[in-house]
Amino acid sequence: MQYPETTVGAVIFNSDNKILLCKSHKWNDKYIIPGGHIELGEKMETALKREILEETGLEIYDINLISIKESVYNKAFHEDKHFIFIDYICRTDSDDVILNEEAEEYEWVALNEIDNYDLGGFVKALLDEIKNTEESEHKTEIFYGY
The pLDDT tens digits of the residues spanning 88-120 come to 999 999 999 999 888 889 999 999 999 999 998
Alpha carbon distance 19, 70 (integer Å): 23
Q: Is 136 exposed, middle or buried (0-12, 13-18, 19+ CB in 10 A)?
A: exposed
The pairing of strands 19-24 and 105-109 is: antiparallel
Q: Which residues pair with 23 in a beta bridge?
A: 31, 105
CB count in 10 Å sphere of residue 68: 14
How many domains does the chain contain in total?
Answer: 1
Domain membership flag for residue 75: yes
Q: What is the pLDDT of residue 65?
A: 95
For 130, the 3-state DSSP assignment is helix
What pairing do the DSSP bridges indicate for beta strands 82-91 and 5-13? parallel
Residue 141: inside a domain, yes or no?
A: no
- CATH code of the domain containing 27: 3.90.79.10
Residue 44 maps to a domain: yes
Condensed to tens digits (0 to 9), the pLDDT of residues 27-84 reads 789 999 999 999 999 999 999 999 999 999 999 999 999 999 887 776 655 567 787 8
pLDDT at 1: 55
Phi-psi region of 29 (alpha: psi -120 to 50; beta: other; left: phi over 0): left
Q: Which of these ranges, 37-41, 129-133, 134-138, has the smallest mean pLDDT?
A: 134-138
Residue 94 within any structural domain of the chain: yes
Helices (H), the chain: 44-56, 123-135
Please check whether residue 140 lies inside any domain of the structure. Answer: no
Give me the mean pLDDT over the 135-146 stretch: 44
Is 64 a domain residue?
Answer: yes
In this structure, is residue 63 part of a structural domain? yes
pLDDT of amino acid 77: 56
Q: For residue 40, what are the domain limits?
A: 5-135
144 in a structural domain? no
Single pTM value for the model: 0.85
Percent with pLDDT over 70 in the chain: 86
